[in-house]
Structure 1
Amino acid sequence: MKGWEPVTVGESDASVYRRGDVFAKCCGPDGVSELRDERDRAEWLAGTPIPCATVVDWVESADGACLMTTAVPGVPGDALAAEDQAGAMASLGRVFRELHSLTDCPFERPLASVVALAEDVVRRGAVNPAYLTDEWRKLAPVELLERVVAERPYAESVQELAVCHGDACLPNVFFDPSTLEVTGLIDLGRLGIADRYIDLALLTIQIHDEWSADPAPFLTSYGLPHPDQRRLEFYRRLDPLTWG
């Protein structure tokens, strides 16, 4: 793409480019449906008070598709200076509380579909070991999946449905490095109605692993100082099995 610089960070299967304040995410024919889902969710979220990347253009042809969005100002959470990470947790908690309080979302991500996705990834032998903890790498992916399936009835019995990001990792949350306020959310392809713990599980483990910090200030700001640890563990084990 002439005039566009390739972006090499991130884990998207699509090709990503930047020109000025616009990002372009491009895919072949097999990825059009998934990229269209991301476009639709970004357009919906942009109509709410939650800051996010906004859609600039969409191009689709027999060769694939390209989604163009605005660049969110600031820096991603995993690039925040170490001395700023604790201060950023208050803003992080507030924004996700507000996200989970939204209504009238037309997109759903039921637990049954997430588990089905994990079953497909495991069946194809496509689980990425880089997403697993050292402890989980000692087990076959099918064993991890069996633990998820065994805990699914409990997770379903206590789920609290909300508008969730679905891939709430720190690189997908941008902050103003001066004020430490959240400036926007990106990579919205998994956004939809789901158990709010699907976001909380990822955020708390990311804070622990990436920031080497106790997530308690984030949870307090969010309004849940004493989360259900069993449910957090369920979604932490499920998420790595859905990428592949």
Structure 2
Amino acid sequence: MLLPGSGWEPVSGGESATDVFRRGAVYAKCCGPAGVEELQAERERVEWLAGTSMPGASVLDWIESDEGAALLTSAVPGVAASELPWSEKLVAGFASALRSLHDLPVSTCPFERPLTEVLGLAEDVVRRGAVNPDFLTDEWRLVEPSELLARLHAELPEVASKADLVVCHGDACLPNFLFDPDTLEFTGVIDLGRLGIADRHADLALVRAQLADEWSVDADSFFAVYGLTPDPQRLDFYHLLDPLTWG
């Protein structure tokens, strides 16, 4: 085992291919040799974000061998928004936190997430027949993944022409934004493997879907605090694109 010492307890949840463990105030993500490059990319993103005004984890150690790699980070205080009951204050805090991330200067971010690259990832997942139906809406499950992909290709030129590039989280879901359970103050963001410069609607589309799925509320109050009336076409486009990239 790559991890030093004993007392590591497995942590369940998340969509990452890594194994996650916790010991006290330290988290560890572990992967085999095939996942080292991806985990190293996440380490670089955690290190970069730690140098900004955005609260999050710090890298404590990096262990690499023929067995794979382990990324050790500090635990971020608070609990995931998904573990808290809906409230206007929590939604407002979520909106403010995401806006703060999106307002980080693009010129300082060394990571990019080009739309063509993300679409290429979706093409690979569809080609391998690896689309997870659990990530699709009831309507989308009735359609062949290749047809869903064709819909994205048809809209790509227009969507790309309207891109509004910011520092995106890449997986802006409720479990990745942490809050103090008593005060509902934002305490930090986690799981940065997909962080990079992209159209802000890539994050906003996931937020809209999460608010509906987890709390059965629309995103109007979120967008009001965030300070933007989003583009419906891009929201729909990125909402469909995301589930095709996990496989």
For residues 37-48 of structure 1, what are the structure 2 equivalents within 5 Å? 37-48=41-52
Distance 1:111 1:10 in 2: 23
Asked whether 1:151 is paired with 2:155, we answer yes
Match of 1:92 in 2: 94
Deviations 1:197-219 (A, max 9, x none): 10000011101111111211111
Scaled by the length of structure 2, what TM-score is found?
0.95
Alignment partners' CA distance in 2, 1:146 and 1:23: 40
Q: Which residue of 2 aligns with 1:228?
A: 231
Which structure 1 segments of 5+ residues have no match? Answer: none
Is residue 205 of structure 1 aligned with residue 204 of structure 2?
no
The residue aligned with 2:167 is: 163
Find 2:243's aligned residue among 236, 240, 244.
240
What is the deviation of 1:86?
2.4
Q: Deviations over 1:142-187 (max 9, x none)?
A: 0110011111111101110000000111111111111212111111
In 2: Cα distance, 1:11 partner to 1:115 partner: 19
**Counterparts of 2:125 and 2:14, CA distance in 1:** 20
Alpha-carbon separation, structure 2, partners of 1:100 and 1:144:
28
Instruction: Give the TM-score normalised by structure 1.
Output: 0.96
Q: Which moved more, 1:7-16 or 1:124-133?
A: 7-16
Name the structure 2 match of 1:72: 76
Please, what is the CA RMSD of the aligned residues? 1.0
Q: How does 1:124-135 map to 2 (within 5 A)?
A: 124-135=128-139
1:118 to 110, 122, 126: 122
- Cα deviation for residue 9 of structure 1 reads 2.1
> Partners in 1 of 2:235 and 2:217 — Cα distance?
17
Q: Give 1:188's match in structure 2, choosing from 174, 186, 192.
A: 192
Q: Percent identity?
A: 61
**Alignment partners' CA distance in 1, 2:85 and 2:98:** 21
The more displaced of 85-94 and 110-119 is 85-94
- Which amino acid counterpart does residue 240 of structure 1 have in structure 2? P
4+ runs deviating over 4 angstroms:
none
Structure 2 residue matching 1:73: 3-state secondary structure? coil
